[in-house]
């Protein structure tokens, strides 16, 4: 690198990791180029609120140019990265090749359907604003179609696959919507009779949390009216129905929260990846053969001092982004590198109104206090936007009053699987009857 030339740092992805790295590097004598295929940064911990009509997209997202505005050494490009040429120090997009001196890849993660990508159109996941709006459309439209076809006897079942934080949040909030928000707004159906089912393959929901918090979360979900089914593996997803081995369950809406896979860009870096596609990085978050290339956030696979893999959550990405920015700054000043150490500030998962679980070291909290902790930590410490007060007021108003002002159905007014739900219900019942032995056979 020419000592007289300003070093160029290219950051791929404007999530929590990439954005925090860009903010810190903007204060250094470097040229920063942020490349993202979207023009906005999304506060993912509140995506489920958009999906369940509690917040509008603009309240949890902000333009990347606005966030990084006023920083003269930062350039933002809305482009899709397709490959890398690490030997030539190039980031390859659909439009151009971008040279770099340092590269930070923070491309995030997407949904994983465990080899069944054909399930995605039927059971959408929740990673982007577009995903949230599609889920909102399906959920609200299901009630409208049920009202219009009240005599069809189609099962109004909502199935959430996956009992991690996203699945728990979706299931709990859907129960609140059906039991409270929409309870008295329809003439021909009773939304309170909606069946919310949460399927989890492991022995308990929130399996990454301590056992006592998992049990507390399950109890809070059941109090909200959610049908929690553990030890349940999904073997098939089809329009209007979901299959668990020999069992068949009709479903008007199926939501996927069961798996996460790293961005496909991880495999383009030429480094070793784990089963989820995450890049195995060095202790300083760089690639083994390319110390000028760093991987952060959900795309990076790194173990903590206890030998446990760091989780794909926002606090990890934020700390990694800041660490890499400091590492680059130190190296430009002629200082050596250090290893990354994650400071775990705790884990929180919200379930519903005044319902949540929280872990702060050895301190485990459930219920209202955990819910307040989730509120303040996520809103005040993770969102760095100037409109965070507006988000807080809107979100709190929705929770305290059970009112949801973003209940707009946009796009198509057809629901995948709805026309098949009655047939699926009959088919599931017939299959169950075929497998169920008769009383005479049982007596013999």
Confidence of residue 442 (pLDDT cuts 50, 70, 90): very low
> What CATH number was assigned to the domain covering residues 117-258+347-433?
3.50.50.100
User: What region, left, alpha or beta, does residue 383 occupy, with left being phi > 0 and alpha being psi -120 to 50 degrees?
Assistant: beta
| Weakest-pLDDT range from 90-94, 275-279, 317-321, 425-429 | 425-429
The sign of the CA dihedral 47, 51, 56, 62 is positive
> What CATH number was assigned to the domain covering residues 8-37+79-111+260-332?
3.50.50.60
Tokens of 161: 């696959």
Q: Which residues are catalytic?
A: 169
Backbone angles phi, psi at 192, to 5 degrees: -65, -15
Give per-residue pLDDT as tens, 9-55. Answer: 999 999 999 999 999 999 999 999 999 999 999 988 889 988 988 88
| Weakest-pLDDT range from 149-158, 236-245, 352-361 | 149-158
Confidence of residue 314 (pLDDT cuts 50, 70, 90): confident
Residue with tokens 């950051």: 11
The partner residues of 227 in beta bridges, in order of sequence, read 197
Average pLDDT over residues 383-410: 69
For residue 348, the model assigns a pLDDT of 86
Give per-residue pLDDT as tens, 203-246. Answer: 999 998 999 999 999 999 999 999 999 999 999 999 889 999 88
Segments making up each domain of the chain, as ranges: 8-37+79-111+260-332, 117-258+347-433
Do 8-37+79-111+260-332 and 117-258+347-433 have matching folds?
yes
Confidence of residue 408 (pLDDT cuts 50, 70, 90): confident
Between 111 and 102, the higher pLDDT residue: 102
Give per-residue pLDDT as tens, 263-284. Answer: 999 999 999 999 889 999 999 9
Average pLDDT over residues 376-382: 66
């Amino acid at each position: 690198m020419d000592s007289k030339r300003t070093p160029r740092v290219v950051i791929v992805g404007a999530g929590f990791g990439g954005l925090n790295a860009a903010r810190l590097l903007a204060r250094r004598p470097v040229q920063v180029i942020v490349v993202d295929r979207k023009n906005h940064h999304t506060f993912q911990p509140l995506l489920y609120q958009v999906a369940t009509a509690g917040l509008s997209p603009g309240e949890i997202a902000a333009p990347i140019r606005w966030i990084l505005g006023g920083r003269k050494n930062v350039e933002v490009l809305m482009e899709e990265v397709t490959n890398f040429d690490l030997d030539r120090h190039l980031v390859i997009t659909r439009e151009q090749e971008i040279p770099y001196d340092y590269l930070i890849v923070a491309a995030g993660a997407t949904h994983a359907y465990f080899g069944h990508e054909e399930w995605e159109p039927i059971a959408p996941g929740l990673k982007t604003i577009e995903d949230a709006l599609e889920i909102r459309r399906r959920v609200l439209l299901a009630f409208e179609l049920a009202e219009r076809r009240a005599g069809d006897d189609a099962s109004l079942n909502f199935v959430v696959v996956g009992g991690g934080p996203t699945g728990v949040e979706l299931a709990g909030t859907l129960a609140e919507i059906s039991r409270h928000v929409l309870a008295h707004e329809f003439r021909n159906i009773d939304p309170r009779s909606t069946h919310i089912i949460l399927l989890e393959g492991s022995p308990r929901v929130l399996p990454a949390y301590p056992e006592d918090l998992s049990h507390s979360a399950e109890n809070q979900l059941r109090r909200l009216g959610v049908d929690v089914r553990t030890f349940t593996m999904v073997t098939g997803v089809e329009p209007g129905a979901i299959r668990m081995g020999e069992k068949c369950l009709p479903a008007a809406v199926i939501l996927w929260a069961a798996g996460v896979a790293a961005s496909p860009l991880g495999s383009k870096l030429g480094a070793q990846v784990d089963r989820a596609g995450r890049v195995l990085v060095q202790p300083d978050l760089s690639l083994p053969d390319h110390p000028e290339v760093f991987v952060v956030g959900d795309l990076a696979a790194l173990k903590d001092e206890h030998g446990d893999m760091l989780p794909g959550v926002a606090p990890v990405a934020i700390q990694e982004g800041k660490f890499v920015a400091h590492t680059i700054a130190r190296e430009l000043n002629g200082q050596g590198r250090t290893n990354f150490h994650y400071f775990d500030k705790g884990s929180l998962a919200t379930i519903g109104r005044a319902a949540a679980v929280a872990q702060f070291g050895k301190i485990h909290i459930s219920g209202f206090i955990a819910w307040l902790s989730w509120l303040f930590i996520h809103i005040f410490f993770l969102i760095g936007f100037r409109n965070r007060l507006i988000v807080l007021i809107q979100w709190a108003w929705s929770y305290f009053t059970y009112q949801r002002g973003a209940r707009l159905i946009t796009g198509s007014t057809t629901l995948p699987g709805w026309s098949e739900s009655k047939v699926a219900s009959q088919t599931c019942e017939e299959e169950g009857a075929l497998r169920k032995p008769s009383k005479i056979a049982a007596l013999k």
